[in-house]
Amino acid sequence: MRSARKLEVKTPEQLRVMRRAGLVVAAALNRIAQSVQPGITTADLDAIAVSVLRENDAAPSFLGYHGYPAVVCVSVNDEVVHGIPGPRTLHDGDIVSIDFGAIVTDNRGQGWHGDAAVTVFVGEASAEDAALSDVTRSALWAGLAAAQAGGRLSDIGAAVEGVVRAAPHPYGILADYTGHGIGTQMHLPPSVENFGPAGRGPVLQPGLALAVEPMVTIGSPDTDVLEDDWTVVTQDGSRACHWEHTVAVTSEGPWVLTEPDGGAAMFAAMGVDSPAASRD
């Protein structure tokens, strides 16, 4: 479908504020990932994010968003995304996706969002789960690398899908949930699909910021939403994985705002030239 809506183009100064939000998100996800261990509750992980927000004078993106009741999403095993933190205890062998968004306000009072997700394991990962997370993360980075000025939006989804389809296992890719534009709001147009042919959709221009977020399952990609109206689970009970970053399109290549090094190390390893990734 073609959208005539105008995309929000950020100035370099505005991207720098989004970078601050991205670093808050990275710090929180890093601290949460380090804290994941058997016996911790998903609510404990939410509390860690609250502390990081306080320390950085930042605000949560998710809390109150369409009534969402928490600061992070914690999705365990067959939960794909939007799991609500609570008294649930994590156990050895669980695969856990943590999704977090933060808002940093500029000197005009305008808030700017960052949004990212990681998948971690409690204790040792099975080979199957480790492969799922590896392919999802590689697909994410292929998508981020495709966020090139002058390219087209669907180049990102095509890159994501290409990595998932190249794997020896027939993984599922969620179609009902997508990435999104991001900036003054967490969710802005355009939707960023995780599949499809390249070369379609809007031309990517410097100043666009996108959240790229592949959601991949070991089995079928069909999902249900639980009674809590949020938690997205696989219909077949298969395990799922979610990795996400916020990336800015610049004239010097993609800048991964929610990665502490801007994506420099990963892009270098991939052979992707992106001077923008080495900013700050």
Q: State the CB neighbour count (10 A cutoff) for residue 210.
A: 28
Distance of closest approach, residue 40 Cβ to Co ion, in angstroms: 24
Q: 259 or 264, CB closer to ligand MF3?
A: 259
| Torsion sign across C-alpha atoms 221, 157, 207, 117 | positive
Amino acid at 182: I
Kindly state whether residue 65 participates in binding ligand MF3, applying the rule CB under 6 A: yes
> Tokens representing 168?
């020896």
**SS3 letters across 142-167:** HHHHCCCCCCECHHHHHHHHHHHHHC
Amino acid at 213: E
143 closest CA partner among 36, 263, 236: 263
Kindly state whether residue 99 participates in binding ligand MF3, applying the rule CB under 6 A: yes
Question: φ and ψ at 30, to 5 degrees?
Answer: -65, -45
Part in contact with ligand MF3 (CB under 6 A); list of ranges 61-69, 121-129, 221-229, 265-273: 61-69
Part in contact with ligand MF3 (CB under 6 A); list of ranges 65-73, 148-156, 221-229, 254-262: 65-73
> Of ligand MF3, Co ion, none, which one does residue 143 interact with (CB within 5 to 8 Å by kind)?
none
At 39 the three-state DSSP class reads coil
Q: Cα dihedral angle (121, 175, 249, 275), rounded to 10 degrees?
A: 40
Kindly state whether residue 259 participates in binding ligand MF3, applying the rule CB under 6 A: no
Distance of CA 186 to the CA centre of its chain: 12
Using CA atoms, how far apart are residues 12 and 17, in angstroms rounded to an integer?
9
Q: Are 214 and 143 in contact, with CB atoms under 8 Å apart?
A: yes
Kindly state whether residue 247 participates in binding Co ion, applying the rule CB under 5 A: no
Distance of CA 154 to the CA centre of its chain: 17
Kindly state whether residue 161 participates in binding Co ion, applying the rule CB under 5 A: no
Count residues near ligand MF3 (CB under 6 A).
Answer: 12
Q: 115 or 129, CB closer to Co ion?
A: 115
Distance of closest approach, residue 66 Cβ to ligand MF3, in angstroms: 6
Q: 73 or 264, CB closer to Co ion?
A: 73
Using CA atoms, how far apart are residues 157 and 195, in angstroms rounded to an integer?
4
Kindly state whether residue 30 participates in binding ligand MF3, applying the rule CB under 6 A: no
> Of ligand MF3, Co ion, none, which one does residue 155 interact with (CB within 5 to 8 Å by kind)?
none
Kindly state whether residue 245 participates in binding ligand MF3, applying the rule CB under 6 A: no
Kindly state whether residue 115 participates in binding Co ion, applying the rule CB under 5 A: yes
Out of 211, 249, 257, 276, name the contact with Co ion by CB under 5 A. 211
Kindly state whether residue 211 participates in binding ligand MF3, applying the rule CB under 6 A: yes
Q: Which residues here bind Co ion, judged by CB under 5 A?
A: 115, 211
Q: Which residues here bind ligand MF3, judged by CB under 6 A?
A: 62, 65, 68, 73, 82, 99, 101, 115, 117, 180, 211, 244
